[in-house]
């Protein structure tokens, strides 16, 4: 049916206006080298056509008409065996209820029952529908089964002009979750664990418009938060100056300065099982701060600086026996020697040393490479890969 070496995603499209968002999901997954097949329910075809998805996936889109056509093998069996991951989006109240009770009256539902792979559900419906007791009960029931993974709905302006919960997760969040399931095969090995992560750079202000900063975008910390969430963790993300939104399902705290990050990390650390300090925190800050913007002529020729507090060292000092504390060391040249020294000096459980002077790694890139070093001196090389893949490799080693 296809190349068995490629990752394969089957997408079931439900009947809702949010179906148009799945076009971006199909297109992006295909462009990333993932094979994509689609099934449209009869209701979905009132909102979007099979031709649209067949064009984006470079493969015919299936409907219930295909279900009843004679083939060498039953279509639902073949599709169920083919898929590495199944995404159902938008998930309607009707399809949710049928999934919860194991019903199979169309091609999509029969394929679900004929498969064994992880299934990601992205619901979308009117707020009152989403908040009905029966719908909430079906949602809670389906998530008790290990195969099913659910995305939270967002709040906002819905197509019915209602403002409230029930808005489907955005395409990029869905894509990232699908990629995680392809990496982990759906394992939930962080269920019951609380993970605290710092991300992004800090800003140390001279006046209201000038600051000392760095080029960190927080992409690595974001990927760690998403990976931990997708593996079942309760995630708190303390992030500095970043341009992205906090992922659905993650407890997010936005800060700017190193002192603000220190305060929030110390506040949340006592309840965490795993603490990962991936933020690029400033080492120094201006000694004096002006409440008003300084005129150019008033700027000092030499800027007096003072050191900022060492957050990860403070975290290490108050670390409990059951906790794991992981640091990052962004380096140029020799990345291992200074990382090992930092690991021992700051009493960390492990450190991730990554080069920032090589193509495809470091600040702002979508990919990364690193060497993971633990307290016993074990070194594991993580070759260049997406930051989400690296996040999962790190969590594999932490766990």
Rounded to the nearest integer, the mean pLDDT of the chain is 95
CB-based contacts of 297, cutoff 8 Å, min separation 6: none
Tell me, yes or no, whether 141 lies in a domain.
Answer: yes
How many other C-beta atoms can be found within 10 angstroms of the C-beta atom of residue 49? Answer: 13
Return the pLDDT at 383.
Answer: 96
Q: How far is CA 261 from the centre of its chain?
A: 21
Return the pLDDT at 360.
Answer: 87
Domain count, the chain: 2
Residue 227 structure tokens: 């990976």
Residue 155 structure tokens: 């709040």
Return the pLDDT at 125.
Answer: 95
Last residue of a domain, one of 184, 212, 230: 184
Exactly one of 23, 117, 160, 239 is catalytic; which is it? Answer: 160
**Residue 306 confidence (pLDDT) above 80:** yes
Task: Let me know: does 108 contact 66? Beta carbons within 8 Å.
Answer: no
149 pLDDT band, cuts 50/70/90, is very high
Return the pLDDT at 135.
Answer: 97
Residue 295 and residue 153 share a domain: no
* pLDDT digit string, tens, across residues 28-49: 999 999 999 999 999 999 999 9
**Residue 208 confidence (pLDDT) above 90:** yes
CA distance 170 to 109: 24
Q: What is the mean pLDDT of residues 116-135?
A: 96
What pTM value is reported for the model? 0.94
Q: Which residue has the higher pLDDT, 377 or 4?
A: 377
CATH number at residue 233: 3.40.50.10300
Residue 221 and residue 138 share a domain: no
Tell me, yes or no, whether 189 lies in a domain.
Answer: no
Return the pLDDT at 180.
Answer: 98
**Residue 146 confidence (pLDDT) above 70:** yes
Residue 281 and residue 149 share a domain: no
Residue 252 and residue 125 share a domain: no
* pLDDT digit string, tens, across residues 181-206: 999 999 999 999 999 999 999 999 99
Residue 123 and residue 199 share a domain: no
Residue 215 and residue 70 share a domain: no
Q: Which residue has the higher pLDDT, 72 or 25?
A: 25
Percent of the chain topping pLDDT 90: 90
Q: What is the mean pLDDT of residues 364-383?
A: 94
110 pLDDT band, cuts 50/70/90, is very high
**Residue 70 confidence (pLDDT) above 90:** no
Tell me, yes or no, whether 204 lies in a domain.
Answer: yes
Domain range for 218 is: 194-398
Residue 243 and residue 170 share a domain: no
Tell me, yes or no, whether 151 lies in a domain.
Answer: yes
Residue 198 and residue 83 share a domain: no
Tell me, yes or no, whether 347 lies in a domain.
Answer: yes
Residue 146 and residue 14 share a domain: yes
CA distance 273 to 295: 48
**Residue 120 confidence (pLDDT) above 60:** yes
254 pLDDT band, cuts 50/70/90, is very high
Last residue of a domain, one of 130, 151, 184: 184
Residue 200 and residue 166 share a domain: no
Tell me, yes or no, whether 363 lies in a domain.
Answer: yes
Helix 171-184 and helix 387-398: axis angle, to 10°?
50
Tell me, yes or no, whether 261 lies in a domain.
Answer: yes
CA distance 120 to 109: 14
CATH number at residue 77: 3.40.50.1950
Percent of the chain topping pLDDT 70: 99
Return the pLDDT at 2.
Answer: 56
Residue 291 and residue 161 share a domain: no
Return the pLDDT at 133.
Answer: 97
Q: What is the mean pLDDT of residues 47-70?
A: 94
Residue 156 and residue 224 share a domain: no
Residues 132-166: b if buried by 16+ CB within 10 A, e if exposed:
eeebeebbeebeeeeebbbbebeeeebeeeeebbb
Tell me, yes or no, whether 342 lies in a domain.
Answer: yes
**Residue 4 confidence (pLDDT) above 70:** no
Active site annotation includes 160: yes
Last residue of a domain, one of 150, 184, 218: 184
Return the pLDDT at 72.
Answer: 82
């Amino acid at each position: 049916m296809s190349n068995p070496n490629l990752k394969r995603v089957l997408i079931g499209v439900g009947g809702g206006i949010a179906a148009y968002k799945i076009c971006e999901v199909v297109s992006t997954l295909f462009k990333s080298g993932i094979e994509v097949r689609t099934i449209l329910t009869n209701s979905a075809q009132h909102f979007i056509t099979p031709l649209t998805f067949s064009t984006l996936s470079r493969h015919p889109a299936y409907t219930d008409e295909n279900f009843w056509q004679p083939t060498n093998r039953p279509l639902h069996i073949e599709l169920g065996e083919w898929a590495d991951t199944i995404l159902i989006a938008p998930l309607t109240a009707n399809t949710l209820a049928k999934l919860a009770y194991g019903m199979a009256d169309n091609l999509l539902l029969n394929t679900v029952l004929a498969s064994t792979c992880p299934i990601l559900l992205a619901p979308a419906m009117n707020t009152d529908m989403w908040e009905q007791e029966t719908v909430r009960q079906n949602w809670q029931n389906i998530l008790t089964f290990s195969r099913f993974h659910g995305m939270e709905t967002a709040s906002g302006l819905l197509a019915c002009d209602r403002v409230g919960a029930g808005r489907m997760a955005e395409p990029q969040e869905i894509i990232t979750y699908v990629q995680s399931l392809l990496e982990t095969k759906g394992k939930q090995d962080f269920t019951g664990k609380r993970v605290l992560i710092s991300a992004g750079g800090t800003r140390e202000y001279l006046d209201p418009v000038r600051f000392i900063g760095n080029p960190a975008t927080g992409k690595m910390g974001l990927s760690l938060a998403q990976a931990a969430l997708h593996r079942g963790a309760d995630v708190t993300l303390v992030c500095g100056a970043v341009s992205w939104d906090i992922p659905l399902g993650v407890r997010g705290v936005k800060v700017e300065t190193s002192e603000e990050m220190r305060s929030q990390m110390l506040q949340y650390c006592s309840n965490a099982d795993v603490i990962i300090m991936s933020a690029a925190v400033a080492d120094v800050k201006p000694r004096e701060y002006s409440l008003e913007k300084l005129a150019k002529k008033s700027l000092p020729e030499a800027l007096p600086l003072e050191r900022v507090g060492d957050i990860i060292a403070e975290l290490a000092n108050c670390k409990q026996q059951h906790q794991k504390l992981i640091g990052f060391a962004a380096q140029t040249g020799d990345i291992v020697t200074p990382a090992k020294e930092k690991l021992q000096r700051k009493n960390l459980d492990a450190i991730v040393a990554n080069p920032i002077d090589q193509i495809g790694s470091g600040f702002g890139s979508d990919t990364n490479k690193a060497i993971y070093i633990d307290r016993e001196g074990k070194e594991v090389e993580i070759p260049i890969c997406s930051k989400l893949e690296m996040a999962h490799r790190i969590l594999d080693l932490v766990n």
